[in-house]
Chain A
Amino acid sequence: MSADGKPQFIQPPNHVKDKVSVTSNGIDLDTLEKAEQLIAGMQDSYLEWVDEDLRKLQALEAQLDGAAAPRVQVFKDIFSIAHDVKGQGGSFDYPLMTMIGNHLCRYIERLGDAEPSDKNVEVVKVHIAALRLVIGQRMSGDGGKMGDNLIRGLEAAINKTTAAK
């Protein structure tokens, strides 16, 4: 802020402009298309990465059945992994992973810091099972009718527990 209390505008040095030029081998539609294809080619790697996340989710799910850790903490850990799953699926043509991950994150978020009930645990487990199913069945794209049924089923599970509160 300037001495008179008014907002101060500063023109910063533009290093980006200085270093970027327009060249014949610069980025065009073809480059972008090739970059998208490169990401598509990483699908096998993605399946390995997500498998790692699913294993972590499975381990956390097992903790929900015991009394080793407070459920609310386990839910936070599940949220963190589901958030990663949500952020990656769509990039590799697994939008269902993004959708289910999003559903799971929003569900856990709505519960806040309250200790989760058995019903809440059930809903979370159903989501984790759905994530496993999508990868197990390689349901890329929208997953067709099966994908549609899966999302509807999850929504129904959430609505049921919300209504039962």
Chain B
Amino acid sequence: MSGYNLERLNFLVVDDNKHMRALVKTILHALGSKNVHEAADGADAFKELRHFPADIIICDWNMSPLDGLDFVRLVRTGKDSPNPFVPIVMLTGHTEMHRVIEARDAGVHEFLAKPISAKGLYSRLRSIIEKPRPFVRAGMYFGPDRRRRQIDWKGTERRKAMLEAKRAAAEAPPEEAGGLSQAEVEALLGG
């Protein structure tokens, strides 16, 4: 059976946890990727980008000294950013609704909740491959178009998605309290 061949893509994996980096690298290699570079925090990753032309960045949120969100902002709007348009997948255990919105507003393309799986990561990569989005410069925002649906904007969609996500979060089992599931995150982001 045929499918996407990721062999030529350059990936940059940014996570302060070496075990998570190992896990993501293992998945990417299993999916056929050859060029996977690593960085332990946002500052390291930004340096790495100067000489490694990453096609997709997979980035954790909690890192120090430069966390994932600051890194995304730096990539998108930094004057010396090597590639402001590079697709970024935010990989994090922070799945609370306000966090998802914050990540989206910083300019991430996709959001993947930890713990991750090969299928979960591949679904986000597929989304980047199949649904390229224009970039928008509006007010303080610069990043991929946050309205991802292929239908006319009607003004109330975002609220509806947020309400759906809120309702879904309220109905989630107790162990999920405080965070959204991947499906809820996608509903919220309108994916």
Contacts and interface: CB of A to CB of B under 8 A. Distances in A.
Interface of A: 1-2, 7-17, 19-32, 34-36, 38-39, 42, 45-46, 49, 80, 83-84, 86-92, 95, 98-99, 102-103, 105-106, 109, 151, 155
Contacts of A19: 8-9, 55
A25 B3 CA distance: 7
Interface of B: 1-6, 8-9, 17, 19-20, 22-23, 26-27, 30-32, 55-56, 62, 85, 87, 92-93, 114-119, 122, 128-129, 132, 134-139, 145, 174-179
B17 A14 contact: no
Contacts, number: 150
A82 B189 CA distance: 27
Contact of A102 (B3, B92, B138, B175): B175
Nearest to B6: A20
B30 A91 contact: no
B115 A13 contact: no
For the complex of A and B, 5 pairs with smallest distance between CB atoms: A90-B115, A87-B114, A26-B3, A35-B118, A7-B138
A8 B137 contact: yes
A125 B97 CA distance: 28
Contacts of B177: 106
A109 to B, nearest CB: 7
Contacts of B132: 14, 16-17
Contacts of A9: 134-136, 145
Given A16-B128, A31-B3, A34-B30, A39 B118 contact: yes
A26 B129 CA distance: 14
Nearest to B140: A1
